[in-house]
A and B are shown apart, each in its own frame.
Chain A
Amino acid sequence: MSAMNEFTKGLWKENPVLVLMLGMCPTLAVTSSATNGLGMGLATMCVLMCSNVAISAIRNIVPKKIRIPVYIVVIATFVTIVDLLMQAYAPTALYEALGIFIPLIVVNCIVLGRAEAFASKNGALKSLLDGLGMGMGFTLSLVTLGATREFLASGSLFQIKLIPGWTTDFMLMTSAPGAFIILGLFLAGMNAMNMRKARKNGKSYKAANLNCSSCNICDIGGE
């Protein structure tokens, strides 16, 4: 039951993009189409699962003082492996679209954040499930964002035109400002849904408290 919870929390309740607000750089940059979002999401999920398991396995022997550099080495290793494997075996078009973003997974806050906040404190299986859940949550948000932007821009999904005769692209949606606007609307929608749910249960909704005292990533708040 609790193991299942580690998996599902990443999908909605602690969705890395829409609730934790982590990894904004790849989110805004690659979601110009559904395909790109899917590829980036899956690559990140792969790295996240590998690094979570590896960090969880070595968590007891890593000296606390140098844990961050150790995590970076572990994550960078897995990212490079994913990069090489994708160069060798992924479709060329996908690698071309994502190529410049893959190395950025190293500094993706989601990966480092889960390593520090979860994998360094939990067992390997739980960490794997956490990585899978967070990765799926990330992928789902990226695909939804990418699909929305692609559809509004050119009336197509996964490069397949759904509305015949839509020939002129709506450029705002494929550019960076469009990414911010759509992400903002998504966040508003997420909050509205949570508020409605809280009201039904007779409670008042409070947005997640995002200051130091409620965060367990570093030791500043705890001490």
Chain B
Amino acid sequence: MGAQKINIPMLGIFLGVLSALAAGLLSVVSISTADAIKANQQKKTNAALEQVLPKFDNVPGDETVVIDSAEGWPVKFYIARNGGTVVGYAGEVVTPKGFSGDVTLMAGLALDGAIRTVIVTANTETPGLGTSVTDRKRQKTLVGMLKGGVVDAGLPPNQYLDQYATRIAGAVQWNVVKDGGDVDAKTGATITSRAVCGAVYAIAKTCTDHLAELSTGAKQ
């Protein structure tokens, strides 16, 4: 084996040709799936918007305003209209304060800045602990399935997310009970609860602070 001559340039060329072939194949697949992937992401955003906003007939994804919150987090506002009049805003923010990484949160807001619905669109929290704060899931049961029970439409409830409904952000930062506030936190998932609370407040505060801007931004 030691006597075997190694033609290093040949090996390099072989690897190069193979990599070029692989790259060609990948670009074909990438181009042909690009549309489907984009449509999927759009569908996901739209589904989230439909959950937090009242009935709308425009494409809120095309009418967005980005405003930085007091913490410096960019809050992306989607503007929903029905028949041309603005019916609500949806704010989306990414908080880095989750227990294990970023938590992306979306809140629907009424015209006066009061919160309608809060959902978490992306998170990597601990399954079973942090996710009980972030997830809205309707539990399917075997008994229910055998009965062929009614499939509930609408958003599944989550007490930790629903507690923000109708709140309007004032000057005082919302806090979980442990930090002296009045927001319920899930035992064992205080960090996630805090992150969600902070992010919801950031969206709501940014919205009330820039209500005028949002309604004029919507007119364009």
In the complex, per-residue mask of A108-137: 1 if CB is within 8 Å of any chain B CB, else 0: 000000000000000000000000000000
The reply to whether A89 and B36 form a contact with Cβ atoms under 8 Å apart is: yes
In the complex, which residue of chain B has the Cβ closest to the Cβ of A223? Answer: B1
A178 to chain B, nearest CB (A): 11
11 A-B pairs, CB-CB below 8 angstroms?
Answer: A63-B14, A65-B6, A66-B14, A77-B25, A80-B29, A81-B25, A84-B30, A153-B128, A160-B140, A160-B142, A174-B128
**Chain B residues, CB < 8 A from A160:** 140-142, 145
Check: B40 CB closer than 8 A to any chain A CB. yes
The answer to whether B128 and A169 touch across the interface, beta carbons within 8 angstroms, is yes
Please give me the 3 A-B residue pairs with the lowest Cβ-Cβ distance, nearest first.
A88-B36, A88-B33, A161-B141
Within A77-95, the residues touching B (CB, 8 Å) are: 77, 80-81, 84-85, 87-89, 92
Q: B18 touching A70 by the CB < 8 A rule?
A: yes
In angstroms, Cα B100 to Cα A175, docked, is: 14
Asked if A69 contacts B128 (CB within 8 A), the reply is no
Per-position 1/0 for B92-122, Cβ under 8 A of A: 0000000000000000000000000000001
- Per the 8 Å Cβ criterion, residues 144-167 of A in contact with B are 153-154, 156, 159-162, 164
Which of these, A32, A63, A85, A175, contacts B10 with CB under 8 Å? A63
A20 is an interface residue with CB less than 8 A from chain B: no
- Of the candidates B11, B129, B139, the one having the most CB atoms from chain A within 10 angstroms of its own CB is B139
Report which of A63, A87, A89, A154 forms a contact with B11, defined as CB distance below 8 A: A63
Interface size of B by CB at 8 A reads 29
| Residue B59 at the chain A interface, CB threshold 8 Å | no
Give min CB distance, B69 to chain A, whole Å: 26
Is the pair A81, B129 in contact by a Cβ cutoff of 8 Å? no
User: When the two chains form their complex, are residues B15 and A88 in contact, meaning their CB atoms are under 8 A apart?
Assistant: no
Q: Which residues of A contact B143 (CB under 8 A)?
A: 164
> How many Å from the CB of B17 to the closest CB on chain A?
11
Q: How many A-B residue pairs have CB under 8 A?
A: 70
Partner of A171, one of B33, B122, B129: B129
**Cross-interface CB contact of A174 among B30, B127, B141, cutoff 8 Å:** B127
B140 contacts across to A, CB distance below 8 A: 159-161
Chain B residue at smallest Cβ distance from A159:
B140
Whether B44 sits at the interface, judged by CB under 8 Å, is: yes
Q: Which residues of A contact B6 (CB under 8 A)?
A: 65
Complex: A84 Cα to B129 Cα, angstroms: 31
Candidates B15, B126, B129, B142; contact of A162 at CB < 8 Å: B142
CA distance A87 to B40 in the complex (A): 8
Q: Which residues of chain B are near A159, meaning CB under 8 Å?
A: 140
Task: Please report the C-alpha to C-alpha distance between residue A88 and residue B44 in the assembled complex, in whole angstroms.
Answer: 12
Which residues in B have their C-beta under 8 angstroms from that of A92? 40, 43-44
Does chain B have a CB within 8 A of A74? yes
Residue from A81, A161, A162, A164 in contact with B26 in the complex, judged by beta carbons closer than 8 Å: A81
A91 vs B142: C-alpha distance in the bound complex, in angstroms? Answer: 22
